[in-house]
Structure 1
Amino acid sequence: MNSVSGVSYPVESRHPGWPARLGPLRVPAGEVAIRPVRLRDAGEWSRIRLRDRAYLEMWEPTGVGPWPERNAFWSWPSQWAALRSLARRGQCLPFTITLDGRFAGQITVGNVIRASLRSAWIGYWVSSEVVRGGVATAAVALVTDHAFGPAGLHRLEATVRPENVASVRVLTKAGYRQEGLFERYLDVAGAWRDHYCFAVTREETGAGLVSRLVASGRADHV
């Protein structure tokens, strides 16, 4: 609590909602859970991203340097440290997606803006081995509910290339709605690409996106 002129009022945490552990939820692929990113994720993170280059590179923003260097084992510590620093400043919520306890991808709520906006974007990727098992949809639902609960946000946005049918399906099943098209929005795979904008606000989620997944039979509580 803080006090001004004898009146006490609560002080908002610099990083509400992080760190946190979410889930698990059972989906066809197994048990999906969410936890903070760890330094020791380096090995599995690098192994999966190097193996899945053809699957991931066509959807992710163009980075500096070649893919093998940016996703090598030794490049993870600096990325992890940067994510943790942003989280401690309340600017993002960086999480690891696990499937049956093993590293399966990442999901991040980034560019967190508070005050009267309380908005952020959500981005994710999962291993190519689990793209059709409900893992990404469960992760998006878990993190969205968390963002609108303990993290205190009001609106989340996600952008996705129109050609990325799998990711469009994930967002739609999770409960996001398409708002429009951003033309030449991001440099992806060496060119400026159009992206759909999907969004959801707290009022639209009702009892929560996880509850919707469970009610629809797409997931179960463990």
Structure 2
Amino acid sequence: MSTRPPRGRRGRHGVLGDPGWPATLRWEGSADDVVVRPLRPSDARAWREARQDNLAWLTPWDATVPPGGDSRPTTFGALVRRLRAQAKAGRTYPFAIDVDGRFAGQVTVNNVVRGSAQFASVGYWIDRRFAGRGVMPRAVALVIDHCFTELGLHRIEVAIRPENSNSLRVVEKLGIREIGYAPRFLHIDGAWRDHRLFAITKEEVPFGIAERLRGGGDAPAP
């Protein structure tokens, strides 16, 4: 694994130009070349094709806007501009996943809380063509380690619908412990949905969660 953020002025964690963001992360030593890097405007065509080709597969797990909520961006360009603004403010970090040079999905660090908390949530989705190859656990591991080592976060949470067996398999492979159950937690696919909650802290993976996934780090938390 390598973390190669661009050089920049060191300052508050999460400010654009800080070494923590933007960043390109690579998983080394596997059959697939998995790279995680900032989502960019040039991803528009590949992103739209992936979303359209996987519409039925992804829709049951997609966030939606509840009645009275703020409207979501209607174009990919507007989405990227909003995410970039949030990244500059240190609130959200939108990563794209490339596999062998092809766009394969996203991992997004969102709801970043600083101060005495230093935590965030992570969400993810993948093109079905790349599913079942261990891509998503590797991508999520890269991002979580980056959150701990470069963005200065202490705790990462993942919320997953109980029916989403594919996403549950990711946290299982990474050894992220379940911490609770939240009824009607997020508005997903048009309604308020229950979620299982998972979390991991920096202390649980002193050698990194990627190293845990490789089998060379500390044992998964009980």
Q: Same fold (TM over 0.5)?
A: yes
Which is further off, 13-22 or 148-157?
13-22
Tell me if the contact between 2:64 and 2:189 (Cα under 8 Å) persists in the aligned partners.
yes
Following TM superposition, by how much is the alpha carbon of 1:27 offset from its aligned partner in structure 2, in angstroms? 4.4
Q: What letter is aligned with 2:24? A: R
- Segments of 5+ residues of structure 1 without an aligned counterpart are 1-9, 65-69, 217-222
Secondary structure in 1 matching 2:144: helix
Kept in 2, the 8 Å contact 1:182–1:197? The answer is yes
1:21 aligns with 2:24: yes
Q: CA deviation at 1:165?
A: 0.7
* 1:29-73 superposed Cα distances (whole Å, 9 cap, x missing partner): x11111111100000000010111111110111248xxxxx89xx
CA contact (8 A) 1:182 1:195 kept: yes
Q: Kindly state the Cα deviation for residue 13 of structure 1 after the two structures are TM-superposed.
A: 4.4
Q: Which of the numbers 41, 44, 62 marks the counterpart of 1:42?
A: 44
CA distance in 2, matches of 1:27, 1:132: 14
Task: Note if contact 2:156-2:199 (Cα within 8 Å) is conserved in structure 1.
Answer: yes
| Aligned amino acid, residue 89 of structure 1 | A
Residue of structure 1 equivalent to 2:76:
76
Superposed CA RMSD: 1.9
Contact residue 27 and residue 138 of structure 2 kept, 8 A: no
| Alignment-mate amino acid for residue 163 of structure 1 | E
Structure scoring higher RCO (CA < 8 A, sep ≥ 6) equals 1
Is residue 222 of structure 2 the alignment partner of residue 211 of structure 1? no
Give the structure 1 partner of residue 183 of structure 2. 183
Given that 1:62 and 1:188 are in contact with CA atoms closer than 8 Å, whether structure 2 keeps it comes out as: yes
Q: Which structure carries more strand by proportion?
A: 1
- The separation in 2 between residues aligned to 1:170 and 1:136, in whole angstroms, is 7
Alignment of 1:1-222 (within 5 A): 11-15=11-15, 16=18, 17-27=20-30, 30-63=32-65, 75-215=75-215
Q: Distance in 2 between matches of 1:201 and 1:83?
A: 25
Q: What is the CA distance between 1:25 and its match in structure 2?
A: 3.5
Aligned residues: 199
After the TM superposition, which segments of 4 or more aligned residues of structure 1 sit over 3 Å from their partners?
25-28
Deviation at 1:82, TM superposition (A): 0.5
Instruction: Give the Cα–Cα distance (whole angstroms) in 1 for the partners of residues 137 and 14 of structure 2.
Output: 28
**Residues 96-118 of structure 1: CA deviation (Å, up to 9, x unaligned):** 11101111001111111111110
Q: What percentage of aligned pairs have identical amino acids? A: 42
SS in 1 for 2:122: strand
Deviation at residue 22 of structure 1 after TM alignment:
0.5
CA distance in 2, matches of 1:87, 1:79: 12
Distance change (3 Å), C-alpha of 1:160 and 1:13: closer
Q: Which has the larger radius of gyration?
A: 1
- Aligned-partner residue type, residue 55 of structure 2: R
Residue in 2 aligned with 1:67?
none
- CA–CA separation in structure 1 for the residues paired with 2:206 and 2:120: 19
Q: Is the 8 A contact 1:92 1:111 kept in 2?
A: yes
How far off is 1:126 after superposition?
0.6
Identify unmatched segments of 5+ residues in structure 2: 1-9, 67-71, 217-222
Question: By how many angstroms is 1:93 displaced?
Answer: 1.2
How many Å separate the matches in 2 of 1:12 and 1:192? 35
